[in-house]
Amino acid sequence: MRAIAVSAFRADPALVEMPKPEPEAGEVRVRIEYAALNPCDWQAAQGSLDDGLAPRVFPLVVGVDFAGRVDMIGSGGNRFRVGDQVFGRTAGPASGAGTYCDYVSVPQDSAITLVPDGLPLRTAAALPSAGMAAAEILEIAVLRGHESLLVIGAAGGVGSYLTQLASARDVRVLAAVRGDERKRMAALGATVTIDTTDRPLEAAVRETCPDGVDALVDLVSTTPDAFAARAALVRGGGIALTTRGVATGAALPADVTGIDFRLEPTPVLLDVLAEGVAEGVLRVPIDIELPLEKAPQALDRNRTGGARGKTVIVL
Ligand SMILES: NC(=O)c1ccc[n+]([C@@H]2O[C@H](COP(=O)([O-])OP(=O)(O)OC[C@H]3O[C@@H](n4cnc5c(N)ncnc54)[C@H](OP(=O)(O)O)[C@@H]3O)[C@@H](O)[C@H]2O)c1
Protein backbone atom coordinates (compact mmCIF):
# COMPACT_ATOMS: atom_id res chain seq x y z
CA MET A 1 0.00 0.00 0.00
CA ARG A 2 1.00 3.64 -0.38
CA ALA A 3 1.92 5.56 2.77
CA ILE A 4 3.45 8.88 3.83
CA ALA A 5 6.04 7.95 6.43
CA VAL A 6 9.28 9.02 8.09
CA SER A 7 12.27 6.67 8.44
CA ALA A 8 13.39 8.37 11.69
CA PHE A 9 12.31 11.31 13.84
CA ARG A 10 12.95 14.60 12.00
CA ALA A 11 13.40 12.85 8.61
CA ASP A 12 11.34 14.31 5.76
CA PRO A 13 7.94 12.61 5.33
CA ALA A 14 7.93 10.78 1.97
CA LEU A 15 5.71 8.53 -0.14
CA VAL A 16 6.70 4.87 0.38
CA GLU A 17 5.32 1.38 -0.32
CA MET A 18 4.50 -0.72 2.73
CA PRO A 19 2.72 -4.04 3.39
CA LYS A 20 -0.99 -3.85 4.21
CA PRO A 21 -1.57 -4.27 7.95
CA GLU A 22 -3.37 -7.51 8.88
CA PRO A 23 -6.19 -7.03 11.41
CA GLU A 24 -5.49 -8.81 14.68
CA ALA A 25 -8.15 -10.32 16.96
CA GLY A 26 -10.75 -7.68 17.83
CA GLU A 27 -9.56 -5.29 15.09
CA VAL A 28 -11.05 -4.01 11.86
CA ARG A 29 -9.06 -3.08 8.80
CA VAL A 30 -10.25 0.08 7.06
CA ARG A 31 -9.64 0.99 3.43
CA ILE A 32 -9.02 4.69 4.01
CA GLU A 33 -10.59 7.10 1.51
CA TYR A 34 -9.82 10.36 3.34
CA ALA A 35 -7.42 11.36 6.11
CA ALA A 36 -7.29 14.78 7.78
CA LEU A 37 -4.25 16.80 8.80
CA ASN A 38 -3.63 17.81 12.43
CA PRO A 39 -0.56 19.51 13.94
CA CYS A 40 0.07 16.34 15.98
CA ASP A 41 0.96 14.65 12.67
CA TRP A 42 4.13 16.68 12.07
CA GLN A 43 4.75 16.89 15.83
CA ALA A 44 4.83 13.06 15.97
CA ALA A 45 7.04 12.86 12.86
CA GLN A 46 9.61 15.20 14.37
CA GLY A 47 9.58 13.27 17.68
CA SER A 48 8.00 16.03 19.78
CA LEU A 49 5.34 13.64 21.13
CA ASP A 50 7.82 10.83 21.88
CA ASP A 51 7.65 10.05 25.60
CA GLY A 52 10.51 7.56 25.40
CA LEU A 53 8.16 4.86 26.75
CA ALA A 54 5.99 3.86 23.80
CA PRO A 55 7.70 1.59 21.26
CA ARG A 56 8.99 3.49 18.21
CA VAL A 57 7.77 2.04 14.95
CA PHE A 58 9.70 3.02 11.78
CA PRO A 59 8.82 3.68 9.07
CA LEU A 60 6.36 5.78 11.08
CA VAL A 61 3.22 6.39 9.05
CA VAL A 62 1.92 9.91 9.67
CA GLY A 63 -1.66 10.78 10.64
CA VAL A 64 -4.43 9.82 13.07
CA ASP A 65 -7.78 10.88 11.52
CA PHE A 66 -9.47 8.71 8.87
CA ALA A 67 -12.70 7.88 7.08
CA GLY A 68 -13.27 4.91 4.80
CA ARG A 69 -14.83 1.43 4.54
CA VAL A 70 -14.21 -1.67 6.64
CA ASP A 71 -12.54 -4.16 4.31
CA MET A 72 -11.49 -6.97 6.68
CA ILE A 73 -12.42 -8.11 10.19
CA GLY A 74 -10.02 -9.73 12.68
CA SER A 75 -11.00 -12.86 14.60
CA GLY A 76 -13.34 -12.67 17.59
CA GLY A 77 -16.40 -10.53 18.31
CA ASN A 78 -16.77 -7.35 16.32
CA ARG A 79 -19.39 -4.61 16.09
CA PHE A 80 -18.56 -3.79 12.44
CA ARG A 81 -19.14 -5.58 9.14
CA VAL A 82 -17.17 -5.58 5.90
CA GLY A 83 -18.39 -2.67 3.78
CA ASP A 84 -19.42 -0.42 6.71
CA GLN A 85 -18.53 3.24 6.23
CA VAL A 86 -16.58 4.34 9.31
CA PHE A 87 -14.54 7.25 10.61
CA GLY A 88 -12.34 7.78 13.63
CA ARG A 89 -9.01 8.52 15.22
CA THR A 90 -6.25 5.97 15.74
CA ALA A 91 -4.07 5.78 18.84
CA GLY A 92 -1.35 7.40 16.73
CA PRO A 93 1.80 6.52 14.87
CA ALA A 94 3.47 5.12 17.98
CA SER A 95 0.85 2.36 17.93
CA GLY A 96 1.86 1.55 14.34
CA ALA A 97 -1.45 2.92 13.09
CA GLY A 98 -0.90 6.02 10.96
CA THR A 99 -3.60 7.13 8.50
CA TYR A 100 -1.84 8.86 5.56
CA CYS A 101 -1.99 5.48 3.82
CA ASP A 102 -4.39 3.12 2.04
CA TYR A 103 -5.21 0.78 4.96
CA VAL A 104 -5.18 0.94 8.75
CA SER A 105 -6.08 -1.68 11.38
CA VAL A 106 -7.66 -0.45 14.61
CA PRO A 107 -9.32 -2.09 17.64
CA GLN A 108 -13.08 -2.28 17.11
CA ASP A 109 -13.64 -0.81 20.60
CA SER A 110 -11.40 2.24 19.97
CA ALA A 111 -12.42 5.71 18.67
CA ILE A 112 -14.10 4.45 15.48
CA THR A 113 -17.78 4.62 14.59
CA LEU A 114 -20.22 4.28 11.69
CA VAL A 115 -20.64 7.22 9.32
CA PRO A 116 -24.33 8.11 9.46
CA ASP A 117 -26.36 8.17 6.24
CA GLY A 118 -25.99 11.45 4.43
CA LEU A 119 -22.61 12.40 5.94
CA PRO A 120 -19.97 12.41 3.18
CA LEU A 121 -16.77 10.52 4.04
CA ARG A 122 -14.59 13.56 3.35
CA THR A 123 -16.62 15.56 5.89
CA ALA A 124 -16.43 12.76 8.45
CA ALA A 125 -12.64 12.56 8.06
CA ALA A 126 -12.28 16.22 9.06
CA LEU A 127 -14.09 15.75 12.37
CA PRO A 128 -12.24 13.43 14.77
CA SER A 129 -9.22 15.07 16.44
CA ALA A 130 -10.17 18.74 16.21
CA GLY A 131 -13.89 18.10 16.75
CA MET A 132 -13.42 15.83 19.75
CA ALA A 133 -10.88 18.25 21.27
CA ALA A 134 -13.35 21.14 20.89
CA ALA A 135 -16.22 19.14 22.40
CA GLU A 136 -14.15 17.93 25.36
CA ILE A 137 -12.69 21.38 26.00
CA LEU A 138 -16.19 22.83 26.14
CA GLU A 139 -17.23 20.21 28.71
CA ILE A 140 -14.16 20.91 30.84
CA ALA A 141 -14.69 24.66 30.71
CA VAL A 142 -18.32 24.21 31.94
CA LEU A 143 -19.40 27.49 30.42
CA ARG A 144 -23.00 28.65 30.64
CA GLY A 145 -24.87 30.96 28.30
CA HIS A 146 -23.64 34.60 28.20
CA GLU A 147 -20.29 33.70 29.75
CA SER A 148 -17.25 34.68 27.74
CA LEU A 149 -14.60 32.47 26.14
CA LEU A 150 -11.38 33.80 24.63
CA VAL A 151 -9.96 31.40 22.01
CA ILE A 152 -6.40 32.10 20.81
CA GLY A 153 -5.73 30.50 17.42
CA ALA A 154 -9.46 30.38 16.69
CA ALA A 155 -9.20 30.16 12.88
CA GLY A 156 -7.67 26.66 12.80
CA GLY A 157 -9.22 23.22 13.22
CA VAL A 158 -9.94 23.11 16.97
CA GLY A 159 -10.80 26.83 17.09
CA SER A 160 -13.29 26.63 14.21
CA TYR A 161 -15.19 23.78 15.92
CA LEU A 162 -14.93 25.28 19.41
CA THR A 163 -16.28 28.63 18.23
CA GLN A 164 -19.34 26.92 16.73
CA LEU A 165 -20.02 24.58 19.67
CA ALA A 166 -19.62 27.35 22.25
CA SER A 167 -21.76 29.89 20.40
CA ALA A 168 -24.47 27.23 20.00
CA ARG A 169 -24.63 27.31 23.81
CA ASP A 170 -24.92 31.11 23.84
CA VAL A 171 -21.36 31.51 25.08
CA ARG A 172 -19.80 34.79 23.90
CA VAL A 173 -16.72 33.80 21.89
CA LEU A 174 -13.83 36.25 21.50
CA ALA A 175 -11.86 34.77 18.60
CA ALA A 176 -8.19 35.81 18.50
CA VAL A 177 -6.66 35.24 15.06
CA ARG A 178 -3.91 36.60 12.83
CA GLY A 179 -5.28 38.44 9.81
CA ASP A 180 -8.68 39.77 8.84
CA GLU A 181 -10.90 36.78 9.57
CA ARG A 182 -13.92 38.75 10.87
CA LYS A 183 -16.35 37.51 8.24
CA ARG A 184 -15.32 33.89 8.54
CA MET A 185 -15.27 33.82 12.36
CA ALA A 186 -18.58 35.69 12.64
CA ALA A 187 -20.15 33.08 10.34
CA LEU A 188 -18.90 30.40 12.76
CA GLY A 189 -20.55 32.26 15.65
CA ALA A 190 -17.81 34.46 17.13
CA THR A 191 -19.14 37.50 18.97
CA VAL A 192 -15.90 39.43 18.50
CA THR A 193 -12.93 38.69 16.23
CA ILE A 194 -9.58 40.14 17.26
CA ASP A 195 -6.82 40.42 14.66
CA THR A 196 -3.73 40.27 16.86
CA THR A 197 -1.56 41.59 14.02
CA ASP A 198 -3.68 44.74 13.97
CA ARG A 199 -4.14 45.59 17.66
CA PRO A 200 -2.91 44.43 21.07
CA LEU A 201 -4.88 41.46 22.42
CA GLU A 202 -5.27 42.88 25.92
CA ALA A 203 -6.86 46.18 24.87
CA ALA A 204 -9.28 44.38 22.55
CA VAL A 205 -10.32 41.87 25.25
CA ARG A 206 -10.78 44.55 27.94
CA GLU A 207 -13.02 46.54 25.59
CA THR A 208 -15.52 43.65 25.54
CA CYS A 209 -14.85 42.16 28.99
CA PRO A 210 -13.45 44.87 31.32
CA ASP A 211 -13.17 42.42 34.25
CA GLY A 212 -11.59 39.69 32.12
CA VAL A 213 -13.02 36.66 30.34
CA ASP A 214 -14.61 33.69 32.10
CA ALA A 215 -12.38 31.22 30.28
CA LEU A 216 -9.32 31.17 28.04
CA VAL A 217 -8.53 28.39 25.56
CA ASP A 218 -4.99 28.92 24.31
CA LEU A 219 -4.23 26.78 21.25
CA VAL A 220 -1.04 28.66 20.45
CA SER A 221 1.32 29.49 23.37
CA THR A 222 4.33 27.19 23.52
CA THR A 223 5.90 28.43 26.77
CA PRO A 224 4.52 28.74 30.33
CA ASP A 225 5.38 32.47 30.29
CA ALA A 226 3.41 33.17 27.11
CA PHE A 227 0.48 31.18 28.49
CA ALA A 228 0.61 33.03 31.83
CA ALA A 229 0.57 36.39 30.03
CA ARG A 230 -2.64 35.39 28.24
CA ALA A 231 -4.14 33.89 31.41
CA ALA A 232 -3.87 37.36 32.97
CA LEU A 233 -6.90 38.21 30.81
CA VAL A 234 -9.07 35.74 32.77
CA ARG A 235 -11.27 37.06 35.61
CA GLY A 236 -10.80 35.77 39.15
CA GLY A 237 -12.38 32.33 39.54
CA GLY A 238 -12.11 31.62 35.80
CA ILE A 239 -10.12 28.99 33.95
CA ALA A 240 -7.17 29.04 31.56
CA LEU A 241 -6.71 25.95 29.39
CA THR A 242 -3.84 25.12 27.05
CA THR A 243 -3.62 22.37 24.42
CA ARG A 244 0.17 22.77 24.26
CA GLY A 245 1.13 21.33 27.68
CA VAL A 246 2.37 24.62 29.13
CA ALA A 247 0.09 25.10 32.17
CA THR A 248 2.44 23.25 34.50
CA GLY A 249 4.99 25.74 35.71
CA ALA A 250 3.06 28.76 34.41
CA ALA A 251 2.78 31.61 36.95
CA LEU A 252 -0.99 32.05 36.69
CA PRO A 253 -2.99 34.53 38.76
CA ALA A 254 -3.74 32.84 42.12
CA ASP A 255 -7.48 32.58 41.52
CA VAL A 256 -7.31 31.30 37.94
CA THR A 257 -7.36 27.52 37.41
CA GLY A 258 -4.82 26.29 34.85
CA ILE A 259 -5.58 23.16 32.82
CA ASP A 260 -3.27 21.08 30.60
CA PHE A 261 -5.75 19.55 28.16
CA ARG A 262 -5.23 15.99 26.86
CA LEU A 263 -7.65 14.61 24.32
CA GLU A 264 -9.39 11.36 25.27
CA PRO A 265 -10.97 10.05 22.08
CA THR A 266 -14.15 7.96 22.30
CA PRO A 267 -16.62 6.55 19.75
CA VAL A 268 -19.47 8.26 21.64
CA LEU A 269 -17.93 11.67 21.03
CA LEU A 270 -17.61 10.86 17.33
CA ASP A 271 -21.34 10.04 17.24
CA VAL A 272 -22.16 13.33 18.98
CA LEU A 273 -20.13 15.28 16.41
CA ALA A 274 -21.72 13.47 13.46
CA GLU A 275 -25.14 14.23 14.96
CA GLY A 276 -24.17 17.89 15.30
CA VAL A 277 -23.33 18.01 11.60
CA ALA A 278 -26.56 16.22 10.66
CA GLU A 279 -28.61 18.70 12.74
CA GLY A 280 -26.84 21.66 11.17
CA VAL A 281 -25.33 22.83 14.50
CA LEU A 282 -21.81 22.07 13.31
CA ARG A 283 -20.29 23.06 9.97
CA VAL A 284 -17.15 21.29 8.84
CA PRO A 285 -14.80 23.94 7.48
CA ILE A 286 -12.65 22.14 4.90
CA ASP A 287 -10.10 24.62 3.61
CA ILE A 288 -7.82 22.46 1.48
CA GLU A 289 -8.23 19.06 -0.19
CA LEU A 290 -5.19 17.39 -1.76
CA PRO A 291 -3.90 14.02 -2.96
CA LEU A 292 -1.72 11.79 -0.78
CA GLU A 293 1.53 12.64 -2.59
CA LYS A 294 1.08 16.34 -1.70
CA ALA A 295 0.72 15.60 2.05
CA PRO A 296 4.42 16.30 2.89
CA GLN A 297 4.08 19.88 1.58
CA ALA A 298 0.82 20.31 3.52
CA LEU A 299 2.55 19.18 6.73
CA ASP A 300 5.34 21.71 6.11
CA ARG A 301 2.81 24.46 5.52
CA ASN A 302 0.85 23.66 8.68
CA ARG A 303 4.04 23.80 10.75
CA THR A 304 4.48 27.44 9.79
CA GLY A 305 0.86 28.34 10.69
CA GLY A 306 -1.91 29.80 8.57
CA ALA A 307 -4.51 27.01 9.01
CA ARG A 308 -8.08 28.07 8.20
CA GLY A 309 -10.25 25.12 9.14
CA LYS A 310 -9.22 21.64 8.02
CA THR A 311 -6.96 20.09 5.38
CA VAL A 312 -8.23 16.79 3.95
CA ILE A 313 -6.06 14.22 2.17
CA VAL A 314 -7.63 12.07 -0.56
CA LEU A 315 -6.40 8.45 -0.78
N1 LIG B 1 -3.36 18.34 23.91
C2 LIG B 1 -4.21 17.77 23.06
O3 LIG B 1 -4.77 16.71 23.33
C4 LIG B 1 -4.49 18.47 21.76
C5 LIG B 1 -5.65 18.18 21.03
C6 LIG B 1 -5.89 18.91 19.85
C7 LIG B 1 -4.98 19.89 19.43
N8 LIG B 1 -3.86 20.10 20.16
C9 LIG B 1 -2.89 21.14 19.76
O10 LIG B 1 -3.58 22.39 19.69
C11 LIG B 1 -2.98 23.21 18.69
C12 LIG B 1 -4.06 23.74 17.73
O13 LIG B 1 -4.62 22.64 17.02
P14 LIG B 1 -5.42 22.90 15.67
O15 LIG B 1 -5.82 21.57 15.16
O16 LIG B 1 -6.46 23.93 15.87
O17 LIG B 1 -4.24 23.52 14.75
P18 LIG B 1 -4.35 24.29 13.35
O19 LIG B 1 -5.56 23.79 12.62
O20 LIG B 1 -3.04 24.19 12.69
O21 LIG B 1 -4.67 25.80 13.76
C22 LIG B 1 -3.80 26.57 14.53
C23 LIG B 1 -4.24 28.02 14.35
O24 LIG B 1 -3.54 28.88 15.23
C25 LIG B 1 -3.28 30.09 14.51
N26 LIG B 1 -2.23 30.85 15.22
C27 LIG B 1 -0.93 30.52 15.38
N28 LIG B 1 -0.31 31.46 16.13
C29 LIG B 1 -1.27 32.39 16.45
C30 LIG B 1 -1.27 33.60 17.21
N31 LIG B 1 -0.15 34.03 17.80
N32 LIG B 1 -2.45 34.29 17.35
C33 LIG B 1 -3.58 33.85 16.78
N34 LIG B 1 -3.64 32.71 16.03
C35 LIG B 1 -2.50 32.00 15.89
C36 LIG B 1 -2.95 29.62 13.12
O37 LIG B 1 -3.16 30.58 12.10
P38 LIG B 1 -2.06 31.74 11.79
O39 LIG B 1 -0.73 31.06 11.73
O40 LIG B 1 -2.50 32.32 10.46
O41 LIG B 1 -2.19 32.69 12.91
C42 LIG B 1 -4.03 28.54 12.94
O43 LIG B 1 -5.23 29.09 12.46
C44 LIG B 1 -1.93 22.33 17.99
O45 LIG B 1 -0.65 22.60 18.50
C46 LIG B 1 -2.35 20.92 18.36
O47 LIG B 1 -1.27 20.01 18.36
C48 LIG B 1 -3.59 19.42 21.31
Segment 271-305, tens digit of pLDDT: 999 999 988 889 999 999 999 999 999 999 999 99
Query: Cα(151)–Cα(140) distance, rounded to whole angstroms?
Result: 14
Distances (CA, A) of 308 to 63, 153, 178, 188: 19, 10, 11, 12
Q: Which ligand 1 atom is nearest residue 155's CA?
A: 43
Ligand 1, atom 2: nearest CA belongs to which residue? 262
Going from the Cα of 104 to the center of ligand 1, the distance in angstroms, rounded, reads: 26
pLDDT tens-digit series, residues 12-39: 999 999 999 999 999 999 999 999 999 9
- Give CATH for domain 130-260: 3.40.50.720
Query: Cα(215)–Cα(236) distance, rounded to whole angstroms?
Result: 10
Q: What is the mean pLDDT of the chain?
A: 96
Residue type, 268: V
Residue type, 240: A
Ligand 1, atom 28: nearest CA belongs to which residue? 220
Going from the Cα of 42 to the center of ligand 1, the distance in angstroms, rounded, reads: 13
Q: Which ligand 1 atom is nearest residue 261's CA?
A: 1
Q: Which ligand 1 atom is nearest residue 179's CA?
A: 40
pLDDT tens-digit series, residues 64-75: 999 999 999 999
165 touches 141 (CB < 8 A): no
Q: What residue spans in the chain does CATH classification 3.40.50.720 cover?
A: 130-260
Going from the Cα of 41 to the center of ligand 1, the distance in angstroms, rounded, reads: 13
Peptide bond into 59 cis (omega under 30): yes
- pLDDT-derived band of residue 140, with 50, 70 and 90 as boundaries? very high
How many C-beta atoms surround the C-beta of residue 41 within 10 A? 31
Q: What residue spans in the chain does CATH classification 3.90.180.10 cover?
A: 2-127+284-314
Query: Cα(48)–Cα(51) distance, rounded to whole angstroms?
Result: 8
Going from the Cα of 74 to the center of ligand 1, the distance in angstroms, rounded, reads: 36
CATH superfamily of 2-127+284-314: Medium-chain alcohol dehydrogenases, catalytic domain (3.90.180.10)
Query: Cα(311)–Cα(286) distance, rounded to whole angstroms?
Result: 6
Query: Cα(283)–Cα(86) distance, rounded to whole angstroms?
Result: 19
Query: Cα(302)–Cα(36) distance, rounded to whole angstroms?
Result: 12
Going from the Cα of 156 to the center of ligand 1, the distance in angstroms, rounded, reads: 6
Distances (CA, A) of 48 to 42, 43, 59, 244: 9, 5, 16, 11
